[in-house]
């Protein structure tokens, strides 16, 4: 990408890394209350996996936090792409004068480039208005639709460090080997709720946010022909893959339902066991999702969930919790994570008893993209490491009283 004039007004440079490899970048120039987004690029081998979208969202967020009201960009070929983030095409005359004087507008980009503008004030109020419902769920749905279509799974827990793939660490080689090829690569979990659930033959199971259906298929093997397993997911693309996986596995005791975990499309008191893998953290209304889980469970029914949970005091770090959460996109499973105490409280408020939250895996900086945030990158390395260590993959179990 051309770099002329970039450093004169540079206010943030973002990079995306895959392990140690740099795979994408974006930069923001600031001119008082106007910003210019530049140099958004993703390595060809890593396109189609949402890396560019993550960079653009992070750049927009960074700019917003600088107090910038309007963000501009120039593009030769990607106007449709940027339109997805709310940028709209405008004439050069509509651009803030300081931005018009930038190097980018004066020769770095050809005069035929399309000018686009994003009104950050409007975007902020829209996000705030609907953050409790529509926006987050739409983003989550789009994110997982894109990931399953582009084949970019996987679990948000990294492998064992000795090269053993994550799915083998979570599920065991024997279990994985018994599944049709490819099923495991449609998994996005962070634990093994089927192992937690101690399923018995004949039980009725519901998987909240069943994704590609791996846990549904494993549960179906455990409950056998006399049992039944429902997978519930709101994303059409995920449901299509799950149904295909079930067909390939020859599973006849499973059914995938389209719907929201905050409004489960099943009658009350009909399910023996609820499982879920890395989903509750994604819902903007966790209290409602857990109340719904309680409603559909039979008296004495069990909940066995793997989820991202915060274990540690985020307030001891020299950045606000809001900044930490803003740095971690919601769709990456982390920003919406509950603390151990919050999980316990919500489960108890929903009516559950015998509640246990057990840390199974503590994240490291390699798992949690804290380094994509300017606020967090400014912190000493040991503080960032401690911060990453507050995020865990945990096992949550509870029971509906008889």
Contact with ligand SAM (CB under 6 A) among 50, 211, 227, 332: 211
The pairs formed by 361-366 with CB atoms below 8 angstroms and a separation of 24 or more are 361/157, 361/190, 361/191, 361/392, 361/393, 362/311, 362/389, 362/391, 362/392, 363/388, 363/389, 363/391, 363/392, 363/393, 364/158, 364/388, 364/389, 366/19, 366/158
> Residue 15: helix, strand or coil by DSSP?
strand
Residues 243-262 that bind ligand SAM (CB under 6 A): 260-262
The residue (of 104 and 262) whose beta carbon lies closer to ligand SAM is 262
d(CA 248, CA 363): 34
Contact with ligand SAM (CB under 6 A) among 70, 75, 253, 283: 283
Backbone angles phi, psi at 21, to 5 degrees: -90, 130
The residue (of 279 and 310) whose beta carbon lies closer to ligand SAM is 279
Name the nearest CA neighbour of 213 among 176, 180, 239. 239
Dihedral of the alpha carbons of 15, 141, 396, 273, in degrees to the nearest 10: -160
Told to check if 170 binds ligand SAM by CB under 6 A, we report no
Give the x/- contact pattern for ligand SAM in 329-358, rule: CB under 6 A. Answer: ----x-------------------------
Q: Which residue has its beta carbon closest to ligand SAM?
A: 211
The site that binds ligand SAM (CB under 6 A) totals a number of residues, namely: 26
d(CA 11, CA 116): 19
Contact with ligand SAM (CB under 6 A) among 277, 392, 394, 397: 277
| C-alpha dihedral sign at 78, 120, 135, 343 | positive
Give the x/- contact pattern for ligand SAM in 219-238, rule: CB under 6 A. Answer: --------------xxx--x
The residue (of 153 and 398) whose beta carbon lies closer to ligand SAM is 153
Residue 261 C-beta: closest distance to ligand SAM, Å: 4
Contact with ligand SAM (CB under 6 A) among 82, 87, 105, 188: 188
Name the nearest CA neighbour of 334 among 398, 395, 280, 262. 280
**Contact present, 217 and 254 (Cβ < 8 Å):** yes
Instruction: Choose one: 71-79, 98-106, 244-252, 275-283; the region binding ligand SAM (CB under 6 A).
Output: 275-283
Structure-block tokens of residue 365: 């900086």
d(CA 169, CA 166): 5
d(CA 321, CA 60): 19
**Contact present, 43 and 24 (Cβ < 8 Å):** yes
Told to check if 6 binds ligand SAM by CB under 6 A, we report no
The residue (of 70 and 192) whose beta carbon lies closer to ligand SAM is 192
Instruction: Choose one: 109-117, 124-132, 133-141, 390-398; the region binding ligand SAM (CB under 6 A).
Output: 133-141
- How many helices, marked H, and strands, marked E, lie in the chain? 15, 14
The residue (of 209 and 227) whose beta carbon lies closer to ligand SAM is 209
The residue (of 214 and 273) whose beta carbon lies closer to ligand SAM is 214
Residue 121 C-beta: closest distance to ligand SAM, Å: 29
Contact with ligand SAM (CB under 6 A) among 194, 196, 205, 214: 214
Told to check if 140 binds ligand SAM by CB under 6 A, we report yes
What Å distances lie between residue 324 and 147, 182, 373, 377, 386, CA to CA? 24, 35, 9, 11, 13
Told to check if 281 binds ligand SAM by CB under 6 A, we report no
Residues that bind ligand SAM (CB under 6 A): 137, 140-141, 144, 187-189, 209-212, 214-215, 233-235, 238, 260-262, 277-279, 282-283, 333
């Amino acid at each position: 990408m051309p770099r002329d004039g970039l450093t004169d007004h540079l206010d943030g440079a973002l990079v995306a890394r895959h392990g140690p490899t740099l795979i994408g970048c974006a930069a923001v120039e600031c001119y008082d209350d106007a910003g210019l987004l530049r140099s958004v690029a993703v390595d060809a081998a890593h396109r189609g996996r949402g890396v560019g979208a993550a960079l653009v969202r992070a750049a927009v967020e960074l700019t917003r936090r600088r107090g910038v009201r309007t963000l501009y960009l120039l593009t030769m070929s990607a106007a449709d792409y940027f339109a997805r983030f709310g940028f709209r095409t405008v004439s050069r005359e509509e651009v803030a004068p300081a931005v018009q004087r930038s190097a980018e507008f004066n020769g770095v980009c050809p005069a035929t480039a399309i000018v686009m503008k994003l009104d950050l004030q409007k975007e902020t109020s829209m996000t705030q208005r609907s953050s409790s419902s529509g926006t987050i769920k739409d983003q989550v749905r789009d994110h997982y639709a894109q990931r399953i279509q582009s084949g970019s799974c996987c679990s948000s827990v990294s492998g064992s460090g000795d090269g053993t793939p994550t799915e083998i660490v979570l599920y065991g080689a024997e279990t994985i080997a018994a599944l049709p090829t490819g099923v495991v690569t449609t998994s996005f979990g962070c634990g093994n709720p089927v192992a937690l659930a101690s399923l018995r033959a004949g039980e009725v199971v519901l998987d909240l946010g069943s994704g590609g259906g791996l846990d549904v298929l494993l549960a179906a093997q455990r409950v056998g022909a006399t049992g039944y397993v429902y997978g519930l997911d709101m994303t059409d693309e995920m449901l299509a893959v799950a149904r295909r996986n079930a067909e390939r596995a020859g599973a006849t005791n499973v059914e995938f339902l389209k719907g929201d975990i905050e409004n489960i499309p099943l009658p009350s008191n009909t399910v023996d066991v609820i499982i879920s893998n890395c989903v509750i953290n994604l819902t903007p209304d966790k209290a409602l999702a857990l109340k719904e889980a309680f409603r559909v469970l039979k008296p004495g029914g069990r909940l066995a969930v793997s989820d991202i949970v915060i274990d540690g005091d985020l307030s001891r770090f020299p950045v606000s919790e809001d900044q930490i959460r803003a740095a971690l996109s919601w769709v990456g499973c982390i920003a919406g994570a509950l603390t151990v105490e919050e999980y316990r409280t919500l489960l108890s408020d929903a009516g559950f008893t015998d509640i246990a939250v057990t840390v199974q895996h503590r994240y490291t900086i390699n798992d949690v993209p804290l380094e994509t945030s300017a606020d967090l990158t400014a912190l000493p390395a040991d503080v960032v490491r401690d911060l990453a260590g507050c995020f865990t993959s945990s096992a949550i179990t509870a029971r509906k009283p008889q």
